[in-house]
Amino acid sequence: QVQLVESGGGLVQAGKSLRLSCAASGSISNINVMGWYRRAPGKQRELVARLTSTGTTYYADSVKGRFTISRDNAKNVVYLQMNSLKPEDTAVYYCNMQIEYSYYWGQGTQVTVSS
Protein backbone atom coordinates (compact mmCIF):
# COMPACT_ATOMS: atom_id res chain seq x y z
CA GLN A 1 0.00 0.00 0.00
CA VAL A 2 1.05 3.54 -0.68
CA GLN A 3 0.46 6.42 1.70
CA LEU A 4 0.98 10.11 1.13
CA VAL A 5 1.47 12.33 4.15
CA GLU A 6 1.42 16.09 3.82
CA SER A 7 2.81 18.68 6.17
CA GLY A 8 3.60 22.36 6.30
CA GLY A 9 0.22 24.01 6.23
CA GLY A 10 -0.81 26.72 8.64
CA LEU A 11 -1.96 30.28 9.15
CA VAL A 12 0.13 33.07 7.66
CA GLN A 13 -0.26 36.72 6.80
CA ALA A 14 -0.56 37.88 3.23
CA GLY A 15 2.82 38.31 1.59
CA LYS A 16 4.48 35.61 3.63
CA SER A 17 5.67 32.16 2.57
CA LEU A 18 4.96 28.53 3.37
CA ARG A 19 6.45 25.30 2.14
CA LEU A 20 4.30 22.20 1.87
CA SER A 21 5.79 18.73 1.83
CA CYS A 22 4.29 15.42 0.82
CA ALA A 23 6.10 12.17 1.50
CA ALA A 24 5.18 8.88 -0.11
CA SER A 25 5.71 5.63 1.75
CA GLY A 26 4.98 2.00 1.10
CA SER A 27 5.44 0.08 -2.12
CA ILE A 28 6.98 2.80 -4.24
CA SER A 29 8.20 2.06 -7.72
CA ASN A 30 8.05 4.63 -10.47
CA ILE A 31 6.54 7.97 -9.53
CA ASN A 32 5.53 9.42 -12.86
CA VAL A 33 3.80 12.59 -11.81
CA MET A 34 3.66 14.58 -8.60
CA GLY A 35 1.17 17.34 -8.13
CA TRP A 36 -0.57 19.69 -5.76
CA TYR A 37 -4.28 20.50 -5.85
CA ARG A 38 -6.35 22.75 -3.67
CA ARG A 39 -9.96 23.20 -2.75
CA ALA A 40 -11.12 26.54 -1.47
CA PRO A 41 -14.39 26.91 0.44
CA GLY A 42 -17.32 26.77 -1.95
CA LYS A 43 -15.12 26.05 -4.96
CA GLN A 44 -14.12 23.02 -6.95
CA ARG A 45 -10.77 21.36 -6.54
CA GLU A 46 -8.17 22.81 -8.87
CA LEU A 47 -4.73 21.77 -10.02
CA VAL A 48 -2.13 24.13 -8.61
CA ALA A 49 1.15 22.66 -9.85
CA ARG A 50 2.42 19.45 -11.37
CA LEU A 51 5.86 17.97 -11.98
CA THR A 52 6.56 14.99 -14.20
CA SER A 53 9.42 12.52 -13.94
CA THR A 54 11.02 14.20 -16.93
CA GLY A 55 11.01 17.57 -15.21
CA THR A 56 8.09 19.17 -17.02
CA THR A 57 6.17 21.55 -14.82
CA TYR A 58 2.71 23.06 -14.95
CA TYR A 59 1.39 25.92 -12.85
CA ALA A 60 -2.05 27.41 -12.62
CA ASP A 61 -2.08 30.97 -13.87
CA SER A 62 -3.07 32.19 -10.44
CA VAL A 63 0.18 30.95 -8.86
CA LYS A 64 2.73 31.42 -11.63
CA GLY A 65 5.76 33.30 -10.42
CA ARG A 66 4.83 32.75 -6.77
CA PHE A 67 4.75 28.96 -6.28
CA THR A 68 7.45 26.44 -7.11
CA ILE A 69 7.06 22.68 -7.18
CA SER A 70 10.07 20.45 -6.66
CA ARG A 71 10.86 16.88 -5.71
CA ASP A 72 13.42 14.81 -3.87
CA ASN A 73 13.55 11.54 -5.73
CA ALA A 74 15.68 9.82 -3.13
CA LYS A 75 13.10 10.52 -0.41
CA ASN A 76 9.95 10.27 -2.57
CA VAL A 77 8.95 13.75 -1.44
CA VAL A 78 7.32 16.56 -3.36
CA TYR A 79 7.41 20.15 -2.17
CA LEU A 80 5.38 23.24 -2.90
CA GLN A 81 7.13 26.47 -2.06
CA MET A 82 4.52 29.20 -1.80
CA ASN A 83 5.71 32.79 -1.74
CA SER A 84 3.84 36.09 -1.71
CA LEU A 85 0.76 34.36 -0.40
CA LYS A 86 -2.62 35.99 -0.92
CA PRO A 87 -5.90 35.54 0.95
CA GLU A 88 -7.30 33.86 -2.17
CA ASP A 89 -4.72 31.10 -1.73
CA THR A 90 -6.64 29.96 1.35
CA ALA A 91 -7.65 26.35 0.77
CA VAL A 92 -7.03 22.76 1.70
CA TYR A 93 -4.04 21.59 -0.30
CA TYR A 94 -3.76 17.98 -1.43
CA CYS A 95 -0.82 16.21 -2.95
CA ASN A 96 -1.33 13.66 -5.66
CA MET A 97 1.06 11.15 -7.17
CA GLN A 98 0.81 8.84 -10.11
CA ILE A 99 2.78 5.74 -9.18
CA GLU A 100 2.92 3.27 -12.01
CA TYR A 101 -0.68 3.28 -13.23
CA SER A 102 -2.38 4.27 -9.98
CA TYR A 103 -3.16 7.63 -8.43
CA TYR A 104 -2.81 8.39 -4.75
CA TRP A 105 -3.95 11.31 -2.62
CA GLY A 106 -2.79 12.79 0.62
CA GLN A 107 -5.18 13.68 3.41
CA GLY A 108 -4.91 17.41 2.81
CA THR A 109 -3.37 20.25 4.74
CA GLN A 110 -5.06 23.56 5.50
CA VAL A 111 -3.46 26.79 4.35
CA THR A 112 -5.05 29.98 5.60
CA VAL A 113 -3.80 33.39 4.50
CA SER A 114 -4.99 36.39 6.46
CA SER A 115 -5.16 39.87 4.99
Cβ atoms of residues 58 and 50 within 8 Å? yes
Which residue ranges in the chain fall short of pLDDT 70?
Answer: none
Cβ-based neighbours of 6, under 8 Å, separated by 6 or more: 20, 21, 22, 93, 94, 95, 106, 107, 108, 109
**Per-residue model confidence (pLDDT) at position 3:** 95
Which helix (DSSP H) or strand (DSSP E) does residue 2 occupy? strand 2-7
Render pLDDT for 87-106 as a digit per residue (tens, 0 to 9).
999 999 999 999 988 999 99
**Per-residue model confidence (pLDDT) at position 36:** 98
Cβ-based neighbours of 31, under 8 Å, separated by 6 or more: 24, 53, 73, 76, 97, 98, 99
**Per-residue model confidence (pLDDT) at position 28:** 86
